[in-house]
Structure 1
Amino acid sequence: MRSKAELESAIAKGGRAALVINARSRRGRRLYGRARRMLREAGVDVVHVFPVTDPTRLRELFSDVLALEPDLVVVGGGDGTVAEAVGHLAHRDIALGILPLGTTNNFARSLELPMDLPGAVRTLAVGEPSGGKVADVDVGWFESTGDPQGEGPAGDREHIFANMVSLGLSVQVAEKVPHALKRFLGRPAYALTAARLLPGHRAFTARITIDGETRELATHQLNIANGAHYSGQRIARDASPDDRLLAVYRLGDERRLRLASATARHVLTGQWRSLDDDAFLTTGHVEIETDPPMRVDVDGEIRGTTPVSIRLRGNALRVIVPQTFVDT
């Protein structure tokens, strides 16, 4: 593995780069051509472009990407596309660059990347005065019950996640949100879908074990975050994908109205709250059981059911971030 400075130097000197862009994401289809042109004008030498029109092929496509032995893989798309890339690029001597073209872009926000395309492209031009830098950040690793993936030679990588593991109402919302509404409204489509589904959602009991101590709580929504954003909003001012911590927190208790008020509080006050607050449990390893068993949402994809074990892998991913990002 090269040092971060060595990898950054290789990229700045025109190292081999590949572009994977989800042409079916909310903005990817519209901005595909513009993104290619802007990268070229910024001096990012993309040797091969992989436009993705069938997201089910992402996994096999990354085998072709890695065969190029790139120094930089630029991914244009939403959280699902980025999450797939993270699983393939973690623990490798390759930097991940992100063009946030999705609806919520949670992991890109956690990396403090510009949400506009010109700003994101400028960040990728390392070596330039307005360019970014190579940093190493944390990823998560999980193991759930009945996960249909995660077997075979690449099994360990299939368990890596970028931003968050979720249980509860958000799983139903992710499945039920109309694609047309999401394309038209963006993030508010999730809130509207949640409001429609909440009256019929049943609370569950979660048993959370950290360092041998088990806590039991009731809720409609439980999140385990490696990143700093949920639904496009910051969860705490000091949360970061580079803090060596998983943040475990619930939204409300077993009462449905508490979920609504807790979600509103999350949106309004997340940027001022701290991980030291009582609302959060922070750890590097957590075990979760639920009654009844709950489906496990991992970066927007259903991956088995509880019980689920979640661990942190510190500094496992090389990424291009703004110069202002605090790299520890």
Structure 2
Amino acid sequence: MTERPLPRSAALIVNAKSRKGRKLYRRAAKRLKAAGITLSASHAVRDPSTLPAIVRREVLAGAPMVIVGGGDGSLSSSVDHLVNHDCVFALLPLGTANSFARTLGIPLDMDGAIEVIAHGRRRRIDLGMIDDDYFANCAAIGMSPLIAESVPHGLKKWLGRPGYLAWAAIKAFRFRPFRLTVGEGETAETLDALEVRIANGRYHGGTELVEAEVDSGQIVVQAVTGRARTRLALSWLLSLLHVRAARWTVREFRDRSLRIATDPPLPISIDGEVLAKTPVIARIARGVIEVAAPA
């Protein structure tokens, strides 16, 4: 079967409150048109809470492709509305970590991302799910929700990823390990954990942490094991340095569906936004959207 080319018409929706969104919105529209993409609609969204509704409206209006510009939270809140629709999801990575773009191999500069939209290919991918909520790349329990709930917006805007990591170091003093149970019944396993990543992709916080692919048909639950906070810092450091020894600090579970519980119950950040609380069912939704991916 011949692969269909990417559409040449699209709706552009940019989170103008993301770290780079307001500055780059007009530039993106101009360069997309120059690359031969006709914009059937164009939105600079000042209130991020309205972005998912705008995406839904454009998909239902029949847009053959929706281009969303923003960070991982904006992208994750958008994907629900493309599930099982004949509409390609394309992205402009304008956030701090840009983990989903990294997982898909999309360049992080605007010209590179537009090159993918104009000359890339369709790729059908899985989405993760936390209960009934779809997500694009990675959910997390532990430090990530603690940071996401409290990080000052200005810190991310002006300092980007270094500022995010500095805030993580500050919040580490409030952090406590927890008991994690993965699975149900006789096959359930309980262990001490410092952080849990529920992954549909390889990147979390802009760092490659998990051996996971967006078209594997499996959800990956990766736990940093132990009770000493220094072990979590070591795990992140080894991962940042791309040292294989980082694998010794984690335990992984893979399946199409896994129940996850913690003692005490803890919040879950989904692609950077705190949206759920344990216990939950994490599962994979196989091949439910098409994205614009590098050729």
For normalisation by structure 2, the TM-score amounts to: 0.93
Pairing 1:39-58 to 2, within 5 Å after superposition: 39-58=32-51
Pairing 1:299-310 to 2, within 5 Å after superposition: 299-310=271-282
Among 197, 204, 208, which residue is 1:230 paired with? 204
> What is the CA deviation profile of residues 93-113 of structure 1, one whole-angstrom value per residue up to 9, with x for unaligned ones?
110111111111111111100
Cα distance, 1:279–1:267 mapped onto 2, change above 3 Å: farther
Identify the residue that residue 294 of structure 1 maps to in structure 2: 266
Contact 2:136 2:271 in 1 (8 A): yes
Contact 2:145 2:268 in 1 (8 A): yes
Identify the residue that residue 80 of structure 2 maps to in structure 1: 87
| 1:254 and 2:260 correspond | no
Identify the residue that residue 118 of structure 1 maps to in structure 2: 111
What CA RMSD, in Å, does the superposition of the two structures yield over aligned residues? 2.2
Contact 2:12 2:39 in 1 (8 A): yes
| 1:267 and 2:240 correspond | yes
| 1:99 and 2:92 correspond | yes
- In structure 2, the gaps of 5 or more residues are none
Among 223, 226, 241, which residue is 2:214 paired with? 241
Contact 1:218 1:253 in 2 (8 A): yes
TM-superposed CA distance for 1:166, in Å, is 1.0
Structure 2 counterpart SS, 1:113: coil
Distance 2:10 2:68 in 1: 11
> What is the CA deviation profile of residues 27-84 of structure 1, one whole-angstrom value per residue up to 9, with x for unaligned ones?
1111111100100000011110011100111232223212320111011111111111
Structure 1 counterpart SS, 2:279: strand
> What is the CA deviation profile of residues 153-207 of structure 1, one whole-angstrom value per residue up to 9, with x for unaligned ones?
xxx5xx1111112111111111222222211221122221111111221111001
Structure 1 counterpart SS, 2:213: coil
Distance 1:277 1:251 in 2: 6
Cα distance, 1:52–1:209 mapped onto 2, change above 3 Å: same
Cα distance, 1:273–1:50 mapped onto 2, change above 3 Å: farther
- In structure 1, the gaps of 5 or more residues are 126-130, 144-155, 324-328
Identify the residue that residue 138 of structure 2 maps to in structure 1: 164
Further displaced range: 92-101 or 58-67: 58-67
> What is the CA deviation profile of residues 91-139 of structure 1, one whole-angstrom value per residue up to 9, with x for unaligned ones?
21110111111111111111100111001101111xxxxx210010110
For normalisation by structure 1, the TM-score amounts to: 0.84
Further displaced range: 300-309 or 28-37: 300-309
> What is the CA deviation profile of residues 225-246 of structure 1, one whole-angstrom value per residue up to 9, with x for unaligned ones?
011101101124x532122222
Distance 2:25 2:221 in 1: 36
Cα distance, 1:96–1:204 mapped onto 2, change above 3 Å: same
Further displaced range: 173-182 or 59-68: 59-68
| 1:221 and 2:195 correspond | yes
Pairing 1:161-200 to 2, within 5 Å after superposition: 161-200=135-174
TM-superposed CA distance for 1:278, in Å, is 6.7
Distance 1:99 1:292 in 2: 38
Identify the residue that residue 316 of structure 1 maps to in structure 2: 288
Q: Which amino acid aligns with 1:107?
A: F
Distance 1:163 1:25 in 2: 18
Distance 2:188 2:227 in 1: 19
Distance 1:206 1:4 in 2: 46
Question: Which consecutive segments of 4 or more residues in structure 1 shift more than 4 A?
Answer: 272-278
Among 121, 135, 153, which residue is 1:133 paired with? 121
Identify the residue that residue 59 of structure 1 maps to in structure 2: 52
Identical aligned residues as a percent = 34
Q: Which amino acid aligns with 1:133?
A: R
Identify the residue that residue 142 of structure 1 maps to in structure 2: 130
Contact 2:93 2:101 in 1 (8 A): yes
Contact 1:210 1:285 in 2 (8 A): no
